[in-house]
Every structure is written in structure tokens, then in C-alpha cells.
Amino acid sequence: MRTVATRLGALGAALALSLATGCAKGGTAGSDGNTVTYWLWDANQLPAYQACAKGFEQQNPGVKVKITQMGWSDYWTKLTASFIAGTEPDVFTDHIQKFGQFADLKVLEPLDDLGLDDSAYQAGLGANWRGQDGHRYGAPKDWDTVALFYNQKMAEEAGLTADELDSLSWNPEDGGTFEKAIAHLTVDRNGTRGDEKGFDRNNVEVYGLAAGGAGDADGQTTWSPFTASAGWHYTDKARWGTEYQYGSGTFQSVIDWYFGLAEKGYLAPFTDYTDGANPANAQVASGRAATSFDGAWMISTYYGTKGLEVGTAPTPVGPTGKRATMMNGLADSVTKNARNKEGAKKWVRYLASDECQRIVGGYGIVFPATPDGTRAAVAAYEKKGIDVSAFTEAVTDKTDSATFSFPVTDYAADVYSLMRPAMQDVYANDAPVSGLTRTNDQINLILGQ
């Protein structure tokens, strides 16, 4: 069995490959007995949590919250380094994709004594943050889902109505109405659409669908709505699975169809994404692509893009007869070696309360984890003239939608390190999807250690 130090080193190397980029803005994690240090990565959310900190400090005289905000990539590399150096913050925003590895490394403090009730939050959010030992290691913070953003002007020029985009369906044989729509939205340099005679797939002016990268191990904003709506699951169990299923025929048939859209000229090539540069939203904003799948955390970015009239539609209905969207929920975790552990737990309990979550929701940036917080966010978006039903209906209605979570297993960083290049090879180099079976075997060999 690898030592903790070795595994932290491996984790740091893997996290350094994170997709997004950003610049650190924080200082050291040190604190005195009256200060709680708190790290987060989203600059858009910083004002909301500064407001929560004021409320917390009023209720806890003498205790101060010091917030440090960093960009996504810097956040995880610096957090990992802080665990190694012993300079970790008291509290940090945790991601379910990273949770398995942190729990395995035993760097998180159990939060069972906070008295959090899973039923107080949107379904599934609370249970996700329990380790294999049954202890809670994260307090539900917010949630997000994935939907289809589209350029309204391009859709209108293609003769596609909002109702049609809201009712798309797909299958891995011919792509269904989804592929037809994406093909029709694609235009080559001669003005010929993707579904018209003479279309030149090698000289495309506007792609029907933006490139969001290869999807790595989870495909959150790329292929996951399709694999899930085809009935596929990442692992053999919903949580803490012991075997991944990337070798499944269902998974590979969907991946073959999805990246086959690039071969047909409908999906922007891997080079348009270039590993984090020129993300999907930038391709839509520039007119390079007509649509993109993206997360709720990007709503303000799309709708705030000057000159872009954007609409949203739910993910398409799949062979199972349902839509599917990943429901990711962040949480706040306390570090095992927190300098102000008592204050840290009080702060986390406050962050998970309706009081703070309503404050956060009122900023209209994310959907907080409590129903009241979610309603506050929906109302805030409505004031901005933004309809967010494509993101919320899967959670609040669920009549024809299914939500699913990131896979939560041991050795998450190793899974990422193996699947990332394998999926990129399929997308960028048209490698056969059957090669994913070998990668899957390697992953399951690691999990079986």
C-alpha cells in the first residue's frame, strides 16, 4: 500500500492537469484562535460569501472569517500542497470529484456533530458526502446541472424553434432529432448546411455543437447526458463502487457515436478546445459554434456575453425514454488539522443554513443546496430576465428527467490520469473506442489493490 506522502504527491501531479485555468489571489492559510480561514475558487461567488461572513461574524462576536479565492487550477494544486506543508485552511469548498481521494488520505474532519439533516437539502446532496466509514465529511453547499445553450439568432436562421430544441431526442444509431438539429445548425464556408447536399465537412464555418474537450473520466458537459440517458452507469454501485464500466458495450457505442459527430463535421474538432483554452462558451460567443452543453455555473457568463442572444434547452431524451443530467453538488469541508476547528465547524454549519443559502441564492450565481436557497436563486435569475427551468426541472420536477452524480470511488486521481489521455485519443486521433476496455481494466486493477 502506498504511503500517504506518496499518494499526496501523485494527487498533486494529477490535479495539476485540471482543465480550467486561473490566477491565485490568496495569501497564507495561517490563522489565530479568533480567525477561520476559508478557501473557494469561484470569483463570481466571492461577494455572496463575504455577505455570509458578515452575518456569521455578527452572530459570533470576536470570530473573523478570512476568505481566500483562487482560480480553479491553482486552487487544487495549492490545496494539495498545503496538506503536504501543513498550511491547509480551516475550511475549503470541496468537489465530489476530489472527495474520494481526500477521504482516502484522511485529511478531512468528520462533521457528524453538526446535526445536518439530509432531508433539509435537495435530494442526494447530503448523502454524497458520507465516506465509506459512514461519517459525513462535507456540508451541502450548492448544486448544478447541465443543459444545452444555443445562439438564438442561429437557431432562428436554421428554422429551429425553442419548442423543437426543448423536445430533442437521440439514439446511438442515427442520432435522432438531436443529430438532425446539430447537422442543420452546422454551416460550411460556402453556406451549405450539414444536412444539405454538397456540405464540406473539412471547411466548416459554424459547427452545430461546440467542443467541450474529451470529457476525461466523467464527461460532465460533453458525453455524460448521452451515456446516462442510454442507461449506463460509471461504476457497479452508485457510490463507492469498486469497478468502473468504461468497457461496457453501451458506453462505447455512445462514445463512438458522440465523437463521430466530429468526423461528420458537426462537432467542433478537439483542436478548437485546445485543452482548456477556448472553452465551449467562447466558441458560442465568437460564432464558431451554434450550441454547447454547459453547466449552471456558466449561466451568468453566457447571458452576460455582449452581442449574444442565448437560449437554453434541457438535455435530449435518450433510449431509456428519459433525459439525463449530471447533478453535481459542492460542499464545505473542515480539514483534519484545522487551527480553529471549533470556529471552522460553526462556520460550516452557518454556510449550510437556510440563512446563508438564501443570501447566496439572492445573488443569482448558483443554486444553493436548500430548497429555500434554490427558490431565492430562481427568483434572482427571473429578475435578470433569465429562464433557468432547463436546469431546475430535472431537480424540482423530474417527470421525464433523471439526475446522476460524479462517480465517487477510491483512487479518483488515478482514474482521471488514465482516462484523460485515453478519451483525448478517441476524440483527437479517432482511436477505436474498444481501446477503452484496456484502460478500464487498468483502472479496476488499481481499485482492487
Evaluate whether 309 touches 153 at the Cβ level (below 8 Å).
yes
Give the closest residue to 49 by CA, choosing from 67, 76, 35, 36.
Answer: 67
One DSSP character per residue, 65-104 reads EEEEE--HHHHHHHHHHHHHHT---SEEEE-HHHHHHHHH
Residue 393 lies in a domain: no
Does residue 166 share a domain with residue 40? no
Residue 398 inside a domain? The answer is: no
Q: Are 234 and 254 in contact (CB under 8 A)?
A: no
Instruction: For residue range 227-264, list pLDDT tens digits in order.
Output: 999 999 999 998 899 999 999 999 999 999 999 999 99
Asked whether the beta carbons of 361 and 373 are under 8 A apart, the reply is yes
Give yes or no: residues 50 and 71 share one domain: yes
Task: Report the pLDDT value the prediction gives residue 21, as an integer from 0 to 100.
Answer: 30
Question: Quick check: is 278 in a domain?
Answer: yes
| 296 close to 145: Cβ distance less than 8 angstroms | yes
Q: What pLDDT score does 449 carry?
A: 75
CA distance 12 to 14: 5
The pLDDT score that the predictor gives to residue 239 is 86
**Helix, strand, coil percentages, rounded to 5, for the chain:** 45, 15, 40
Q: Same structural domain for residues 321 and 373?
A: no
In this structure, is the dihedral angle defined by the CA atoms of residues 65, 71, 76 and 82, taken in order, positive or negative? Answer: negative
Four-point Cα dihedral 130, 136, 138, 142, nearest 10: 60
Same domain? For 353 and 363 the reply is: yes
Which of 352, 372, 387 is the C-terminal boundary of a domain? 387
| Number of independent structural domains in the chain | 2
- Domain containing residue 31: CATH number: 3.40.190.10
Give yes or no: residues 268 and 302 share one domain. Answer: yes
Both 18 and 60 in one domain: the answer is yes
Q: Are residues 31 and 151 in the same domain?
A: no
Same domain for 135 and 153? no
Judgement on whether residues 100 and 71 belong to the same structural domain of the protein: yes
- Per-residue pLDDT 10s for the chain (449 aa) are 333 333 444 444 443 333 333 333 333 444 457 999 999 999 999 999 999 999 999 999 999 999 999 998 899 999 999 999 999 999 999 999 899 889 888 999 999 999 999 999 999 899 999 999 999 999 999 999 999 999 999 999 999 999 999 999 999 999 999 999 999 999 999 999 999 999 999 999 999 999 999 999 999 999 999 999 999 999 999 889 999 999 999 999 999 999 999 999 999 999 999 777 789 999 999 999 999 999 999 999 999 999 999 999 999 999 999 999 999 999 999 999 999 999 999 999 999 999 999 999 999 999 999 999 999 999 999 999 999 999 999 998 766 778 999 998 989 889 999 999 999 999 999 999 999 999 999 999 999 87
Helix, strand or coil for residue 259?
helix
3-state SS class at 189: coil
Per the structure block, which three cell numbers stand in for 385? 430576465
Q: Look at residue 62 and tell me if it is in a domain.
A: yes
Is residue 254 domain-shared with residue 336, that is, in the same domain?
Answer: no
224 and 139 co-located in one domain: no
Angle at 406 between CA 165 and CA 117, to 5 degrees: 105
Residue 428 resides in a domain: yes
For residue 322, the 8-state DSSP code is S
The pLDDT of residue 153 is 98
Pull the grid cell for residue 146.
447541465
Please indicate, yes or no, if residue 422 is contained in any of the structural domains: yes
**How far apart (Å, rounded) are the C-alpha atoms in residues 77 and 74?**
5
Distances (CA, A) of 414 to 8, 155, 177, 399: 12, 41, 37, 36
Residues 360, 308 share a domain: no
* Structural domain contains residue 395: no
- Structural domain boundaries, residue 349: 4-144+330-387
Instruction: For residue 431, give Cα distances in angstroms to 60, 395, 426, 434.
Output: 58, 36, 4, 9
Give CA separation, 364 vs 27, 225, 350, 356, 381, in Å. 28, 25, 19, 14, 5
Phi, psi for 331 (deg, rounded to 5): -145, 165
Coil, strand or helix at 215: coil
How confident is the model at residue 32, as a pLDDT? 57
**Residues forming beta bridges with residue 67, ordered by sequence position:** 38
Residues linked to residue 404 through DSSP beta bridges, in sequence order: 326
Domain contains 134: yes
C-alpha–C-alpha distance, residues 10 and 106, integer Å: 15
280 vs 151: CA distance, rounded Å: 12
- The 10s digit of each residue's pLDDT in 374-383 is 999 999 999 9
Say what angle helices 96-105 and 4-15 make with each other, to 10 degrees: 160
Residue 399: what pLDDT? 65
